[in-house]
Amino acid sequence: MLRTREPRSPQAPPPAWSRFVLGRPTARFEAKPPPADPYRPDTLFDGWSTQGLTVRLASVRGDAHRYGGQPRQDDVVVAAHEPTGAVVFAVADGVSAAPQSHVGAALACRTAVSDVLRQLDEGRNQVDWKRVVAAAAYQLVMRVTRGGEPTREQKQEAQTLLATTLVTGVVRPAAGGQLDVNLVHVGDSGAWLLHQGLFHPLLGGKDQSADGIFSSAVAALPWVPPQVEGTWYTLPEDGVLLVGTDGFGDPLGDGTGRIGEVMAYELGRPPREPQAVAQLLDFSRETFDDDRTLLAVWPRHRLDEGRATGAAG
Protein backbone atom coordinates (compact mmCIF):
# COMPACT_ATOMS: atom_id res chain seq x y z
CA MET A 1 0.00 0.00 0.00
CA LEU A 2 1.29 3.44 -0.91
CA ARG A 3 2.06 5.50 2.16
CA THR A 4 2.24 9.26 2.26
CA ARG A 5 3.78 11.47 4.91
CA GLU A 6 1.26 12.63 7.49
CA PRO A 7 0.74 16.42 7.61
CA ARG A 8 2.63 18.16 10.38
CA SER A 9 0.49 19.37 13.26
CA PRO A 10 0.00 23.16 13.32
CA GLN A 11 1.10 23.09 16.96
CA ALA A 12 4.39 21.37 16.17
CA PRO A 13 7.56 23.49 16.21
CA PRO A 14 8.73 24.54 12.73
CA PRO A 15 11.47 22.48 11.13
CA ALA A 16 14.98 23.78 11.59
CA TRP A 17 15.23 24.79 7.94
CA SER A 18 12.23 27.14 7.89
CA ARG A 19 12.79 30.63 6.49
CA PHE A 20 13.10 33.46 8.96
CA VAL A 21 10.18 35.84 8.92
CA LEU A 22 11.41 39.34 9.70
CA GLY A 23 8.31 41.51 9.50
CA ARG A 24 5.44 40.83 7.11
CA PRO A 25 6.45 37.78 5.04
CA THR A 26 6.37 37.37 1.28
CA ALA A 27 3.79 35.05 -0.25
CA ARG A 28 4.67 31.36 -0.25
CA PHE A 29 5.13 29.68 -3.62
CA GLU A 30 7.18 27.00 -5.34
CA ALA A 31 10.13 28.46 -7.21
CA LYS A 32 10.41 28.05 -10.98
CA PRO A 33 13.64 26.65 -12.43
CA PRO A 34 16.12 29.13 -13.90
CA PRO A 35 17.56 28.61 -17.40
CA ALA A 36 19.78 25.55 -17.48
CA ASP A 37 22.72 27.02 -19.43
CA PRO A 38 24.84 28.13 -17.72
CA TYR A 39 23.90 26.25 -14.58
CA ARG A 40 23.15 28.60 -11.68
CA PRO A 41 22.00 27.00 -8.40
CA ASP A 42 19.27 28.77 -6.47
CA THR A 43 21.49 28.93 -3.38
CA LEU A 44 25.17 28.48 -2.66
CA PHE A 45 27.10 28.64 0.59
CA ASP A 46 30.62 27.93 1.77
CA GLY A 47 32.67 28.20 4.91
CA TRP A 48 36.18 27.44 6.13
CA SER A 49 39.01 28.81 8.24
CA THR A 50 42.66 29.55 7.62
CA GLN A 51 45.16 29.87 10.45
CA GLY A 52 44.17 33.50 10.98
CA LEU A 53 40.71 33.99 9.46
CA THR A 54 37.25 32.43 9.44
CA VAL A 55 35.10 32.79 6.32
CA ARG A 56 31.38 32.23 5.78
CA LEU A 57 29.46 33.16 2.64
CA ALA A 58 26.13 32.62 0.95
CA SER A 59 24.29 33.74 -2.17
CA VAL A 60 20.54 33.15 -2.56
CA ARG A 61 18.13 33.78 -5.41
CA GLY A 62 15.57 36.42 -4.56
CA ASP A 63 11.84 35.73 -4.56
CA ALA A 64 11.30 37.85 -7.67
CA HIS A 65 13.66 35.65 -9.68
CA ARG A 66 12.31 32.48 -8.09
CA TYR A 67 8.77 33.42 -9.06
CA GLY A 68 9.73 34.48 -12.58
CA GLY A 69 12.15 31.64 -13.30
CA GLN A 70 15.15 33.91 -13.78
CA PRO A 71 18.69 33.01 -12.67
CA ARG A 72 20.40 34.37 -9.58
CA GLN A 73 22.26 37.44 -10.83
CA ASP A 74 24.59 37.75 -7.80
CA ASP A 75 27.88 35.93 -7.51
CA VAL A 76 30.74 35.56 -5.03
CA VAL A 77 34.23 34.02 -5.21
CA VAL A 78 36.64 33.65 -2.27
CA ALA A 79 40.12 32.10 -2.15
CA ALA A 80 42.88 31.73 0.44
CA HIS A 81 46.43 32.76 -0.47
CA GLU A 82 48.50 30.53 1.77
CA PRO A 83 51.94 32.19 1.35
CA THR A 84 50.65 35.53 2.70
CA GLY A 85 47.81 34.31 4.92
CA ALA A 86 45.44 36.57 2.96
CA VAL A 87 41.89 35.86 1.84
CA VAL A 88 40.98 37.30 -1.58
CA PHE A 89 37.34 37.89 -2.48
CA ALA A 90 34.96 39.35 -5.02
CA VAL A 91 31.21 39.97 -4.81
CA ALA A 92 29.15 41.03 -7.83
CA ASP A 93 25.54 41.96 -8.52
CA GLY A 94 24.42 41.69 -12.12
CA VAL A 95 22.39 44.70 -13.24
CA SER A 96 18.74 43.67 -13.50
CA ALA A 97 18.16 45.21 -16.94
CA ALA A 98 21.09 43.33 -18.51
CA PRO A 99 19.85 39.97 -19.90
CA GLN A 100 23.11 38.10 -19.22
CA SER A 101 24.25 39.97 -16.13
CA HIS A 102 24.49 36.69 -14.20
CA VAL A 103 27.21 35.67 -16.64
CA GLY A 104 28.87 39.07 -16.22
CA ALA A 105 28.82 38.74 -12.42
CA ALA A 106 30.42 35.29 -12.58
CA LEU A 107 33.12 36.43 -15.02
CA ALA A 108 33.91 39.56 -13.02
CA CYS A 109 34.30 37.68 -9.72
CA ARG A 110 36.48 34.91 -11.10
CA THR A 111 38.67 37.29 -13.08
CA ALA A 112 39.16 39.69 -10.17
CA VAL A 113 40.14 36.98 -7.69
CA SER A 114 42.47 35.30 -10.18
CA ASP A 115 44.25 38.58 -10.94
CA VAL A 116 44.68 39.48 -7.27
CA LEU A 117 46.08 36.02 -6.51
CA ARG A 118 48.49 36.41 -9.42
CA GLN A 119 49.69 39.75 -8.08
CA LEU A 120 50.21 38.29 -4.60
CA ASP A 121 52.23 35.47 -6.17
CA GLU A 122 54.34 38.13 -7.85
CA GLY A 123 55.23 39.49 -4.42
CA ARG A 124 53.59 42.90 -4.87
CA ASN A 125 53.33 44.95 -1.69
CA GLN A 126 50.30 46.80 -3.06
CA VAL A 127 47.63 45.35 -5.31
CA ASP A 128 47.21 47.22 -8.58
CA TRP A 129 43.44 47.63 -8.37
CA LYS A 130 43.21 49.47 -11.67
CA ARG A 131 44.64 46.36 -13.32
CA VAL A 132 42.19 44.11 -11.47
CA VAL A 133 39.11 46.10 -12.42
CA ALA A 134 40.30 46.53 -16.01
CA ALA A 135 40.91 42.78 -16.30
CA ALA A 136 37.38 42.03 -15.10
CA ALA A 137 35.91 44.56 -17.53
CA TYR A 138 38.01 43.14 -20.38
CA GLN A 139 36.61 39.65 -19.84
CA LEU A 140 33.08 40.98 -20.17
CA VAL A 141 33.92 42.63 -23.47
CA MET A 142 35.72 39.50 -24.71
CA ARG A 143 32.55 37.54 -24.02
CA VAL A 144 30.96 39.57 -26.82
CA THR A 145 33.90 39.76 -29.22
CA ARG A 146 35.03 36.15 -28.64
CA GLY A 147 38.65 37.27 -28.50
CA GLY A 148 38.68 39.84 -31.25
CA GLU A 149 39.54 43.51 -30.96
CA PRO A 150 36.33 45.17 -29.73
CA THR A 151 34.54 47.85 -31.70
CA ARG A 152 32.68 50.70 -30.04
CA GLU A 153 29.40 48.93 -30.79
CA GLN A 154 30.63 45.71 -29.17
CA LYS A 155 31.70 47.57 -26.04
CA GLN A 156 28.20 49.00 -25.83
CA GLU A 157 26.73 45.55 -26.41
CA ALA A 158 28.78 44.16 -23.52
CA GLN A 159 27.49 46.97 -21.29
CA THR A 160 23.92 46.23 -22.33
CA LEU A 161 24.13 42.44 -21.97
CA LEU A 162 26.57 41.78 -19.11
CA ALA A 163 26.65 44.82 -16.81
CA THR A 164 27.54 44.06 -13.20
CA THR A 165 28.73 45.74 -10.03
CA LEU A 166 31.87 44.51 -8.29
CA VAL A 167 33.45 44.69 -4.85
CA THR A 168 36.83 43.00 -4.60
CA GLY A 169 39.53 43.05 -1.98
CA VAL A 170 42.04 41.38 0.29
CA VAL A 171 41.78 40.76 4.03
CA ARG A 172 44.72 39.69 6.22
CA PRO A 173 45.10 38.89 9.92
CA ALA A 174 46.98 41.64 11.76
CA ALA A 175 48.57 42.14 15.16
CA GLY A 176 46.34 41.68 18.18
CA GLY A 177 43.68 39.78 16.24
CA GLN A 178 42.77 42.74 14.07
CA LEU A 179 41.97 42.60 10.35
CA ASP A 180 43.77 44.57 7.63
CA VAL A 181 41.37 45.11 4.73
CA ASN A 182 41.98 46.61 1.28
CA LEU A 183 38.85 47.18 -0.84
CA VAL A 184 37.78 48.61 -4.18
CA HIS A 185 34.36 48.75 -5.82
CA VAL A 186 32.44 49.65 -8.96
CA GLY A 187 28.70 50.19 -8.46
CA ASP A 188 26.45 50.01 -5.43
CA SER A 189 27.42 46.72 -3.78
CA GLY A 190 28.95 47.49 -0.41
CA ALA A 191 31.01 46.57 2.62
CA TRP A 192 30.43 47.10 6.32
CA LEU A 193 32.16 46.69 9.65
CA LEU A 194 29.93 44.99 12.22
CA HIS A 195 31.23 45.97 15.65
CA GLN A 196 29.50 45.74 19.01
CA GLY A 197 26.10 45.33 17.37
CA LEU A 198 26.43 48.33 15.03
CA PHE A 199 26.94 48.41 11.26
CA HIS A 200 29.50 50.90 9.96
CA PRO A 201 29.53 51.38 6.14
CA LEU A 202 33.00 51.07 4.60
CA LEU A 203 32.16 51.63 0.94
CA GLY A 204 29.48 51.28 -1.71
CA GLY A 205 25.75 51.51 -1.25
CA LYS A 206 23.25 53.66 -3.10
CA ASP A 207 23.67 57.41 -3.39
CA GLN A 208 21.14 59.46 -1.47
CA SER A 209 19.87 62.76 -2.82
CA ALA A 210 18.94 65.85 -0.78
CA ASP A 211 15.28 64.81 -0.66
CA GLY A 212 16.21 61.49 1.00
CA ILE A 213 15.43 59.32 -2.02
CA PHE A 214 17.99 56.69 -2.98
CA SER A 215 19.13 56.71 -6.60
CA SER A 216 18.66 53.53 -8.63
CA ALA A 217 21.31 54.57 -11.17
CA VAL A 218 24.16 52.07 -11.06
CA ALA A 219 27.69 52.42 -12.37
CA ALA A 220 28.70 48.99 -13.62
CA LEU A 221 31.36 47.01 -15.45
CA PRO A 222 32.52 46.82 -18.19
CA TRP A 223 32.64 50.59 -17.66
CA VAL A 224 35.80 51.36 -15.66
CA PRO A 225 35.96 54.49 -13.47
CA PRO A 226 38.69 57.01 -14.32
CA GLN A 227 40.17 56.59 -10.83
CA VAL A 228 40.43 53.14 -9.25
CA GLU A 229 42.16 53.16 -5.88
CA GLY A 230 41.92 50.71 -3.02
CA THR A 231 40.86 51.87 0.43
CA TRP A 232 42.60 50.54 3.54
CA TYR A 233 40.92 49.74 6.85
CA THR A 234 42.07 48.15 10.08
CA LEU A 235 39.15 46.43 11.79
CA PRO A 236 39.10 45.71 15.55
CA GLU A 237 39.75 42.25 16.91
CA ASP A 238 36.05 41.86 17.84
CA GLY A 239 34.81 43.18 14.50
CA VAL A 240 33.41 41.43 11.43
CA LEU A 241 33.99 42.34 7.79
CA LEU A 242 30.79 42.07 5.73
CA VAL A 243 30.70 42.40 1.95
CA GLY A 244 27.37 42.15 0.19
CA THR A 245 25.06 43.14 -2.64
CA ASP A 246 22.20 45.58 -2.31
CA GLY A 247 19.83 42.65 -1.77
CA PHE A 248 21.43 42.53 1.67
CA GLY A 249 22.25 46.23 2.04
CA ASP A 250 18.83 47.68 1.18
CA PRO A 251 16.81 45.77 3.83
CA LEU A 252 19.64 46.25 6.33
CA GLY A 253 19.39 50.04 5.98
CA ASP A 254 21.28 51.71 8.81
CA GLY A 255 21.14 48.48 10.81
CA THR A 256 18.82 49.78 13.54
CA GLY A 257 15.65 47.90 12.53
CA ARG A 258 14.50 44.32 13.06
CA ILE A 259 16.64 42.96 10.21
CA GLY A 260 19.73 44.73 11.52
CA GLU A 261 19.06 43.44 15.03
CA VAL A 262 18.87 39.83 13.88
CA MET A 263 21.88 40.14 11.55
CA ALA A 264 24.00 41.73 14.29
CA TYR A 265 23.12 38.97 16.75
CA GLU A 266 23.69 36.10 14.34
CA LEU A 267 26.85 37.46 12.72
CA GLY A 268 28.54 38.82 15.82
CA ARG A 269 30.47 35.54 15.98
CA PRO A 270 30.95 33.02 13.20
CA PRO A 271 28.29 30.29 13.11
CA ARG A 272 29.79 26.82 13.30
CA GLU A 273 27.72 25.57 10.37
CA PRO A 274 28.29 27.45 7.09
CA GLN A 275 24.72 26.78 5.93
CA ALA A 276 23.46 28.94 8.81
CA VAL A 277 24.44 32.07 6.87
CA ALA A 278 22.45 30.88 3.84
CA GLN A 279 19.39 30.33 6.00
CA LEU A 280 19.85 33.71 7.67
CA LEU A 281 20.26 35.50 4.35
CA ASP A 282 17.14 33.87 2.88
CA PHE A 283 14.79 35.66 5.27
CA SER A 284 11.22 36.44 4.25
CA ARG A 285 10.22 40.11 4.28
CA GLU A 286 7.58 41.73 2.10
CA THR A 287 8.91 44.03 -0.67
CA PHE A 288 12.51 42.76 -0.32
CA ASP A 289 12.70 40.18 -3.11
CA ASP A 290 16.11 40.80 -4.72
CA ASP A 291 18.98 38.30 -4.84
CA ARG A 292 21.11 38.47 -1.70
CA THR A 293 24.80 37.74 -1.33
CA LEU A 294 26.92 38.13 1.78
CA LEU A 295 30.53 37.36 2.65
CA ALA A 296 31.56 37.53 6.33
CA VAL A 297 35.14 37.34 7.63
CA TRP A 298 36.14 37.14 11.30
CA PRO A 299 39.52 36.82 13.01
CA ARG A 300 40.00 33.09 13.58
CA HIS A 301 39.96 33.41 17.39
CA ARG A 302 36.30 34.42 17.24
CA LEU A 303 35.34 30.92 16.09
CA ASP A 304 36.35 29.46 19.44
CA GLU A 305 34.68 32.13 21.58
CA GLY A 306 31.01 31.76 20.94
CA ARG A 307 28.08 29.50 20.84
CA ALA A 308 27.70 26.90 18.10
CA THR A 309 24.96 28.93 16.50
CA GLY A 310 22.61 28.32 13.68
CA ALA A 311 20.38 31.17 12.62
CA ALA A 312 17.87 31.97 15.38
CA GLY A 313 14.41 33.29 14.84
User: What pLDDT does residue 49 have?
Assistant: 97
Q: Flag whether pLDDT at 206 surpasses 80.
A: no
* Strand runs labelled E in 139-223: 166-173, 179-186, 190-195, 198-203
Of 126, 128, 133, whose CA–CA distance to 84 is shortest?
126
Q: Flag whether pLDDT at 220 surpasses 60.
A: yes
Q: What is the pTM of this model?
A: 0.89
pLDDT tens digit sequence for 35-48: 888 999 999 999 99
User: What pLDDT does residue 129 have?
Assistant: 97
Q: Angle between the 152-162 and 129-145 helix axes, to the nearest 10 degrees?
A: 100
Longest CA span, the chain: 70
**Percentage of the chain exceeding pLDDT 70:** 88
| Mean model confidence pLDDT for the chain | 89
User: What pLDDT does residue 125 have?
Assistant: 84
**Percentage of the chain exceeding pLDDT 90:** 78
User: What pLDDT does residue 205 have?
Assistant: 64
